[in-house]
Amino acid sequence: MTHLARGAAALAAVLALGCAVNPVTGKNELSLVSESQEIQMGQQAAVEVGATIGLYDNPQVQSYVDALGKRLAALTERPALPWKFQVVDDPAVNAFALPGGFIFVTRGIMADLNSEAELASVVGHEIGHVTARHTVQQISRTQIAQLGLGIGSIVSSDVAKYAGVASAGLSLLFLKFSRANESQADQLGFRYALSGGYDVREMLNVFRTLERVTAQSGGSGVPEWLETHPDPGNRLTAIQHDLDTLHVSLADKQVGRDQYLRMVDNMVYGENPRQGFFRAGLFLHPDLRFQMEFPAGWKTQNTTASVAAISPAQDAVIQMTLATKSPTEANTEFFAQQGVRALQTNRNSINGFPAVSSAFEAQTDQGVVRGVVTWLSYGANTYQILGYTPAAKINTYDQDFLRTASSFRQLTDQSALNVQPKRVQLVRLPRAMTLEQFYQQYPSTVPIADIALMNALQPGQTIAAGTTVKRVVG
């Protein structure tokens, strides 16, 4: 049998066997991922989200969002999924769904919402992606494309190997939904929020806020929610049409403004410097009490899992992460990896801290790389500082790798040690005032445009006495 014929036969077999009933539409559709596999993939990715992005450290907020989400999920076509709703410690305006019922919203989007009904519409939309199995559809299409080329496989039930699925773990977040998926998720979110007793007119406010965030950023792709959720046309018009044709009174439906605002009171706003911040190329971490200097001109990034820098030519990387073993044990484990060879190892100290440094060479799919890896023990942690580049460039960057590792030292600057994040603070107005008067009487450490956006206010708008308004302090 020829290569092409084998691919066609495999494709025909999949089409014959890979049908399932969509829980939302009731129609047969192609599905190469069972519900158990869907849940397994979602569980794996959810663990990675917690480890790489990090969860917001506020049990009350976490319980509130989880309870709201589970109330809505119980009203859907898939109530038996292991639903879990969490807030990630991310300032971006975003929300995302993983297959199997694992939903995340950022503290960034929570700061810009103004009612429980608005949050319910966001969460309901993400639930809709799960109930309609949108991610599963994307995975199945990818698998069919691979099979059509004769390079796929459907013999393994292991999720990591299943039909060449490239969406295991965090790569699930990079699967983009179609316009039809987005429209369906909007409709489902509308329905779920309404069934949950919420005033779905608040859904309009969510889309207005997202539009304002995008406009305020100059249309540069913010909020991230719109990057992973392509706009299916005029969503406001579509939701307004649903409201106009709704034969249900919304007079007794819940908005929940006050209880929602209590949840975002004192919430961290923007980047949290306690988790590390940069002053030019100098990285300072107040909570872990260390500092380290990256090469000038390199592009830097700080995440929950790592701190990294990439060279201007994008041909060298330096990354710091936490290790789980002592420097000596970590070094031994590193060189136990297949294809990694030690060139030279030094056991020394860096600014008084025990350290092990090794030059190495490694074979990768993209060719041979060379670099320097350093393990350093400080406090209760072992830090891995890894620098690498294509083997031909090692003489260009090896001193950068060594200088960066050698710059690690204890943080003693009190201004850095005492830095605090900005936080949302609630103010109940004693009298009516304009937005501008509010900003003058109750100053914020962010521009007035941000205060207008997060309160859904317009310039010059008068705010009624007794209204609770958000500002940002710190």
Whether pLDDT at 152 is above 80: no
Average pLDDT along the chain: 85
Question: Worst-scoring range by mean pLDDT, 28-32, 221-225, 243-247, 364-368?
Answer: 221-225
Cα gap 190→371, rounded to integer Å:
53
pLDDT of 310 reads: 92
pLDDT of 219 reads: 52
* Mean local confidence (pLDDT), 215-244: 70
Q: Are 3 and 151 in contact (CB under 8 A)?
A: no
pLDDT of 29 reads: 67
pLDDT of 19 reads: 58
pLDDT of 387 reads: 94
pLDDT of 8 reads: 41
Whether pLDDT at 177 is above 70: yes
Whether pLDDT at 57 is above 70: yes
- Nearest CA to 427 out of 472, 368, 370, 474 is that of 472
Given CATH 3.40.1000.10, say whether it is the number of domain 273-414: yes
Binning pLDDT at 50, 70 and 90, where does residue 156 land? Answer: very low
Q: Are 66 and 48 in contact (CB under 8 A)?
A: no
Percent of the chain with pLDDT strictly greater than 90: 64
Residues 6+ apart with CB under 8 A from 17: none
Q: Are 264 and 114 in contact (CB under 8 A)?
A: no
Output the furthest CA–CA distance in the chain (Å, rounded).
Answer: 82
Question: Model pTM?
Answer: 0.79
Cα gap 369→381, rounded to integer Å:
27
The residue extents of the domains of the chain are 3-264, 273-414, 422-473
Q: Are 377 and 353 in contact (CB under 8 A)?
A: yes
- In this structure, the dihedral spanned by the alpha carbons of residues 114, 118, 123 and 126, taken in order and rounded to 10 degrees, is -120
pLDDT of 224 reads: 56
Binning pLDDT at 50, 70 and 90, where does residue 5 land? Answer: very low
The DSSP line for 189-205 is HHHHHHHTTB-TTHHHH
Compute CA distances 106 → 146, 338, 388, whole Å. 34, 38, 33
